Amino acid sequence: MSVHFTILGASGFIGSNLVDYLNNQGYECDAPVKSDDTIFSKSLGHVIYAIGLTADFRTRPLDTVEAHVCILRRLIQEGRFESLTYLSSTRVYSDSKSTSETASLVVNPYKFDDLYNISKLMGESLCLHGGRSNVKVIRLSNIVGLRRDSDLFIDQLLEEGYATGCINLHTALNSKKDYLYIDDAVSLIKAISLSSKAGIFNVASGEGVENAQIVHFLESEMGFHTSVCIEAPVWDFVQIDTTKVLDEFGFNPRKFSDYFPSYLNLVRQIKDSK
């Protein structure tokens, strides 16, 4: 029998890249639209749940909970699937000392920004304890790739650079984040989805990339000028633990310095063609 995937949230950045990747790999892949209620009645095969809000969760808190929890709850209760893979985020490790998949996490309902983390964690808990088998949770890092919306720090820098030729950093040059290239992300998401393994998986590079390294490439490859705000704060960064995906899937993502210049070249080609 052919392997059948259903990508929920296929119009978004991760979802659309998953659809393209799976189609190119020769898999049967459905991408139902948001209003398609048949997802609760027909056979879906291997579901990858990529429905979610990112940068706009602050202005759409009710929609955020609907996307991360409510639709998922109905799918777990009524859906017909072989496996379900829920895409969460490594943002849930904010304020936590450990980034192991089994670590206890810190959230505060009084902090507005924690609405995102709390809703993602509720979705994760439903996946793990909702009574369905072959359900997995993936905590995604900051994914680098072409997208319509500038909801990643790097995208925002590129947008500012193209608009003004200059970039003004509001965080220190030695600030770090974990970045993973989209091609590596979708490949591992597929592997986890089709595996017999369940539970939570960190999908990240496992290495922190400093702002200084990003700036180096933006200056050398794009010709942007850079400044840093006086007394700019340092991002706190706890390295994402990728031991599990390394041990269980042999995950070996490409280095930031290997893919980022090529990515910038692709961005430049697209911008110059408009």
Torsion of CA 14, 65, 37, 1, to 10 degrees: 40
Predicted pLDDT at 65: 95
- Residues 6 or more apart from 70 whose CB is under 8 A from it? none
Return the pLDDT at 103.
95
pLDDT of residue 166: 94
Which part of the chain is CATH 3.90.25? 145-176+207-238+255-273
For every residue of 151-179, which 3-state class applies, written as one string? CCHHHHHHHHHHHHCEEEECCCCCCEEEE
Boundaries of CATH 3.40.50.720 in the chain? 4-143+179-203
d(CA 191, CA 10): 18
Q: Which residues of 42-55 are buried (b: 16+ CB within 10 A; e: fewer)?
A: eebbbbbbbbbbbe
CATH architecture of 4-143+179-203: 3-Layer(aba) Sandwich (3.40)
5 CA to centre of own chain? 19
Buried b (16+ CB within 10 A) or exposed e, 187-224: bbbbbbbeeeebebbbbbbbebbbbebbbebbeebbeb
Per-residue pLDDT in tens (0 to 9) along the chain, 274 residues:
589 999 999 999 999 999 999 999 999 999 999 889 999 999 999 999 999 988 788 889 999 999 999 999 999 999 999 999 999 999 999 888 899 999 999 999 999 989 999 999 999 999 999 999 999 999 999 999 998 877 789 999 999 999 999 999 999 999 999 999 999 999 999 999 999 999 999 999 999 999 999 999 999 999 999 999 999 999 878 899 999 999 999 999 999 999 999 999 999 998 888 7
pLDDT score of 168: 94
Position 1 scores a pLDDT of 55
Q: Which helix (H) or strand (E) holds 2?
A: none
pLDDT of residue 60: 92
Question: What is the rounded distance in angstroms from the CA atom of residue 57 to the CA atom of residue 70?
Answer: 15
Closest CA to 101 of 93, 111, 109, 112: 93
- Select 145-176+207-238+255-273's CATH number: 3.90.870, 3.90.25, 3.40.720, 3.30.70: 3.90.25
pLDDT confidence of residue 7:
98
Neighbouring-strand partners of residue 42:
none
| pLDDT at site 81 | 97
